[in-house]
């Protein structure tokens, strides 16, 4: 082949290659956005598991489709521990934006506000809550109890008594175990969903506690306590001896063989998201299946 013909052929090949890549780039740029593989936000399965004394919804938000469920509960002491409610909603927001963080074998459920009447008493707000919704002059005790003036974390069937103790004061524990609709809602949800572990967020002891009832502390409760505490930086304590606690939700879970821990935030005003996210991730690694 003559040099001139070779040059023409070479230029034709170059032009064809340029045209090919130009068409390829154009077609990819003009593809519908729905065809671009991106991580999408995931709305939770939102379930009303019960209502409060005053008729407010108690809701569970569920993500993932795994066979084993982790359950997180905030706000059992209502407006007195409003930061535990805010923390729970912060976790809900994170899972909505980052659903792939959940191991494939797990389902994660969150009950952000187990005492919505107590929250409303302090915030005048129902449902979704952020720190911006909290009045500057939050009272220290009102909002801890439900609308029957019962301490809900004394209303469960673990060493239940008609009255309980809180900071040396005598508080109502209801007329019988599970006399309150909020406690029954948690009970019924747990018995139906059968979570492998339940994490309760409270404040303000800066400590993680294992659940116990009549049979004492199980090794798995101690292990989960240590895993969460080590990752989050909270202190640990195998016993709460400041005053007698009876009828608590965590103790009831221990009595029916469900692993549970109490995570006490440092104050009543902060959610310590980074610390608790580290603790949550540690539980994901512990319970999750490596694929």
Is residue 38 assigned to a domain? no
Same domain, 27 and 152: no
- Compute the half-sphere exposure of residue 92: CA atoms within 13 Å on the CB side of its CA: 26
Same domain, 76 and 19: no
Using the predicted structure, report yes or no on whether residue 156 has a pLDDT greater than 80.
yes
218 burial (CB, 10 Å; 0-12 / 13-18 / 19+) is: middle
Domain span holding position 141? 45-287
Quote the pLDDT of residue 81.
94
Which residues 6+ apart lie within 8 Å of 100 measured at CB?
A: 39
Quote the pLDDT of residue 9.
56
Is residue 113 assigned to a domain? yes
Mean pLDDT of the chain: 88
Is residue 253 assigned to a domain? yes
Same domain, 82 and 11: no
Per-residue pLDDT tens digits for 248-280? 999 999 999 999 999 999 999 899 999 999 999
Instruction: Provide the number of structural domains found in the chain.
Output: 2
Quote the pLDDT of residue 136.
78
Quote the pLDDT of residue 24.
47
Is residue 39 assigned to a domain? no
Q: Please spell the DSSP secondary structure of 195-212, one letter per residue.
A: -SEEEEEEESSSEEEE--
Same domain, 85 and 14: no
Is residue 236 assigned to a domain? yes
Per-residue pLDDT tens digits for 179-225? 999 999 999 999 999 999 999 999 989 999 999 998 889 999 999 99
136-157 average pLDDT score: 88
Per-residue pLDDT tens digits for 86-102? 999 999 999 999 999 99
**Least confident piece of the model among 6-20, 41-55, 208-222, 229-243:** 6-20
CATH number at residue 110: 3.40.630.10
Distance CA 60, CA 10 (A): 67
Quote the pLDDT of residue 141.
62
Quote the pLDDT of residue 241.
72
Show the CA angle centred on residue 223, arms to residues 257 and 68, nearest 5°.
55
Percentage above 90 pLDDT, the chain = 72
Same domain, 104 and 12: no
Is residue 96 assigned to a domain? yes
Same domain, 130 and 77: yes
234-252 average pLDDT score: 89
Is residue 37 assigned to a domain? no
Between residues 240 and 92, the one the model is more confident about: 92
Same domain, 224 and 188: yes
36 pLDDT tier (thresholds 50, 70, 90): very low
| CB atoms closer than 10 angstroms to residue 9 | 11
């Amino acid at each position: 082949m003559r040099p001139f013909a070779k040059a023409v052929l070479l230029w034709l090949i170059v032009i064809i290659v340029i045209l090919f890549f130009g068409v390829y780039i154009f077609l990819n740029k003009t593809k519908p956005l729905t065809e671009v593989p991106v991580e999408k936000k995931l709305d939770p399965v939102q379930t009303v598991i019960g209502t409060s004394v005053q008729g407010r919804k108690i809701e569970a938000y569920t993500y993932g489709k795994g066979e084993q469920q982790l359950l997180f509960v905030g706000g059992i002491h209502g407006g007195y521990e409003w930061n535990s409610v805010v923390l729970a909603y912060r976790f809900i927001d994170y899972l909505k934006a980052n659903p792939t963080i959940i191991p494939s074998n797990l389902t994660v459920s969150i009950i952000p506000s187990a005492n919505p009447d107590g929250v409303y008493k302090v915030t005048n707000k129902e449902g979704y809550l952020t720190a911006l919704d909290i009045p500057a002059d939050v009272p220290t005790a009102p909002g801890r109890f439900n609308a029957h003036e019962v301490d809900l974390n004394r209303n469960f069937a673990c060493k239940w008594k008609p009255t309980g103790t809180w900071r040396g004061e005598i508080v109502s524990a209801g007329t019988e175990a599970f006399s309150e609709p909020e406690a029954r809602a948690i009970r019924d949800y747990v018995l139906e969903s059968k979570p492998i572990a339940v994490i309760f967020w409270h404040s303000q002891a800066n400590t993680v506690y294992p659940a116990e009832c009549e049979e004492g502390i199980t090794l798995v409760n101690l292990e989960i306590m240590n895993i969460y505490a080590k990752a989050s930086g909270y202190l640990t304590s195998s016993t709460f001896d400041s005053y007698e606690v009876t009828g608590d939700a965590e103790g009831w879970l221990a009595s029916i063989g469900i692993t549970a821990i109490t995570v006490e935030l440092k104050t009543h005003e902060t959610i310590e998201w980074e610390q608790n996210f580290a603790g949550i991730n540690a539980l994901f690694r512990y319970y999750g299946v490596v694929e």
